[in-house]
Amino acid sequence: MARVIAVTNQKGGVGKTTTCVNLAASLSATKRRVLLVDMDPQGNATMGSGVDKNALELSGYDVLTKRAEVADVAITVDTAGFDLMPGNGDLTAAEVELMNEIGREHRLRLALNKVRDNYDYILIDCPPSLNLLTVNALSAADSVLIPMQCEYYALEGLAALMNTVEQIQETVNPDLQIEGLLRTMYDPRNSLTLDVSAQLAEYFGDKVYRAVIPRNVRLAEAPSYGLPALKYDRASKGAVAYLALAGEMVRRHGTKKTSAPVAV
């Protein structure tokens, strides 16, 4: 059964979507079966996977409003090796439609439960805000992966996010855990980066991934080609870093492969 991981941070610009797309591709490269769920109305994870968000026949909107099942909506991204439940601006309409529905915060969880046996990992790209879409993601998730930059304001954002996680645990998902903290746009030459890293290690211990994601031009260029860095430039520092993260995650979980090998 898949481990469902919500990738979230209420602070924007921390590499959340970059992490979703590249981690999905890297986990697929380890022969794990992966579903990437785009729950952000901006649809960046969808576009970054090479799927046109403006040409979708079905999307996450249809899943949340019970017009379609995940299995009907999911697209196999052959170039990246994972499945994608795409998203676009229609997700905002879903949020409005669900406003007065009973059990609205559990729609995604109930939908994903039907396909969990088909995957090793389900990654959910969340909006950079706390709204009904994010609550649905956190309700569906086993754990939360938090990408963050090593800077002062990021620590403030982390404190707010931890409060949000506690609220979700108290209300809709008592089993929600912290999956890990991922340091992104990492520059070891910066003393503040090292200071913040030390603070994270002190408070979160082994929840801080050993793998770090550096600032990398090839990593930034890849989305414009609709490709993860692994497919755009396998030898780039960004691609290597996400492969290291995937390896670390697999070792932590001890997950066995449940699917046929995925070509890289």
> Under CATH, what is the fold of the domain 3-253?
Rossmann fold (3.40.50)
pLDDT at res. 262? 38
Span 4-15, mean pLDDT?
88
Beta-strand ranges (E) seen in the chain are: 3-7, 34-38, 75-77, 82-85, 121-125, 143-149, 177-186, 208-214
Under DSSP, is residue 110 helix (H, G, I), strand (E, B) or coil?
helix
**Whether residue 59 has pLDDT greater than 60:** yes
Task: Check the CA dihedral 147-149-150-151 and report its sign.
Answer: negative
Read off the pLDDT band of 29 (50, 70, 90).
very high
pLDDT of residue 72: 97
Q: Cα(181)–Cα(203) distance, rounded to whole angstroms?
A: 11
* Structure confidence at residue 264 as a pLDDT band (50, 70, 90): very low
Beta bridge partners of 178: 144
Question: What is the average pLDDT across 68-75?
Answer: 98
At 143, is the secondary structure helix, strand, or coil? Answer: strand
Helix (H, G, I), strand (E, B) or coil at 180: strand
User: Does 150 have pLDDT greater than 90?
Assistant: no
Specify whether the CB–CB gap between 148 and 157 falls below 8 A: yes
Q: Rounded CA gap, 115 and 29, in Å? A: 21
The tokens describing 85, both together, are 């439940």
Would the pTM of this model clear 0.75, i.e. be above it?
yes
- Using the 8-state DSSP alphabet, how is residue 206 labeled? G
What is the per-residue pLDDT for 263? 36
Count of Cβ atoms closer than 10 Å to residue 100 Cβ: 7
> What is the model's pLDDT at position 115?
98
Average pLDDT over every residue of 155-180: 91
Say how far apart CA 76 and CA 108 lie, in whole Å: 19
Minimum mean pLDDT range among 37-51, 60-74, 246-260: 246-260
Percentage of the chain beyond pLDDT 90 is: 77
